[in-house]
Amino acid sequence: MAERKKYKRVLLKLSGEALKGNSDYGICPDTINDIARQIAEVKATGIEMCLVIGGGNIFRGIAGATKGMDRSNADYMGMLATIMNAIAMQDALEKIGVHTRILSAIEVKEVCEPYIRRRAVRHLEKGRVVIFAGGTGNPYFTTDTAACLRAMEADCEVILKATNVEGVYDSDPRKNKDAKFFEKLSYLDVLNQGLKVMDATAVSLCMDNELPMIVFNLKKDGNIKKVIMGEKVGTVVG
């Protein structure tokens, strides 16, 4: 009997750092191939899937700005980094037979398609994994905000936010062994308590548009699939 998944269409948000594995920066081939394998497994259930990948493994706009760069210039470099990560993920996915399309908010026509909402939806309906690249195309917005925006535009039911820990805690569980884990939170809790889930712009956007988010540990093999099957994994924010 076919497995019953909870969702029809989801957006998976990966940080750029998720691709670097144990390296200090860049893309670790084993890590990206492993994430691609997990995505392929999930895709095989018939779910429609979008991806947003950050760029922090290559360049972080905010970090550039704190070192004296103009913030807009630094953010544009970060957005270009997300396009490189998208191409790497497309390569890893297509090698294992998952059809993908990259749609970028910044036009780089020679390497990927421009972002056109209706086209993205059509690609999803045709079973392709759609990778949204180039952030929102605007400086001062994070790739988390881009993920929320694209999830809403593409009518996704949920954002799956991949992290290195089990979900949301009241303090960093890697530094504080008594950190309290939350199974469920409202967006207002996240904002009021200053919990580090996503930046406030992204959180407000989800709150205003009632888009739920599940924060979960990407490093546990099979977790993406568990989340889409509706198993209790991570922290639900909504």
> Rounded CA gap, 104 and 112, in Å?
7
Query: In angstroms, what is the C-alpha Rg of the chain?
Result: 17
- The 3-state secondary structure of 158-174, one letter per residue: EEEEEECCCCEECCCCC
In this structure, what token pair is assigned to residue 87?
């191409």
Q: Which stretch binds ligand GTP (CB under 6 A): 104-112, 130-138, 204-212, 228-236?
A: 104-112
Residue 113 binds ligand GTP (CB under 6 A) = yes
CA 215 to chain CA mean position, Å = 10
- Cβ proximity to ligand GTP: between 21 and 114 the closer is 114
The nearest distance, CB 110 to ligand GTP, in angstroms, is 6
Q: Which of 135, 45, 30, 134 is nearest to 92 (CA)?
A: 30
Type of residue found at 177: K
Task: Provide, rounded to whole angstroms, the least separation between the CB of residue 27 and ligand GTP.
Answer: 20
Which of 30, 110, 178, 210 is close enough to bind ligand GTP by CB under 6 A?
110
Rounded CA gap, 128 and 123, in Å?
A: 5
Report which residue's Cβ sits closest to ligand GTP.
113
Token match 């059809």: residue?
99
Quick check: 118 binds ligand GTP (CB under 6 A)? no
Site for ligand GTP in 72-101 (CB under 6 A): 101
111 binding ligand GTP? (CB under 6 A): yes
Q: Residue 99 corresponds to which tokens in the numbers above? A: 């059809």
If binding means CB under 6 A, how many residues of this protein chain bind ligand GTP? 9
Q: Stretches 43-51, 73-81, 110-118, 152-160: which one binds ligand GTP (CB under 6 A)?
A: 110-118
Residue 6 or 126: the one with the smaller Cβ distance to ligand GTP is 126
Residue 122 in contact with ligand GTP, rule: CB under 6 A? yes
What tokens were used for 29? 């081939």
For residue 163, how far is the Cα from the chain centroid?
A: 9
Residues lying near ligand GTP in the complex (CB under 6 A):
101, 109-114, 122, 126
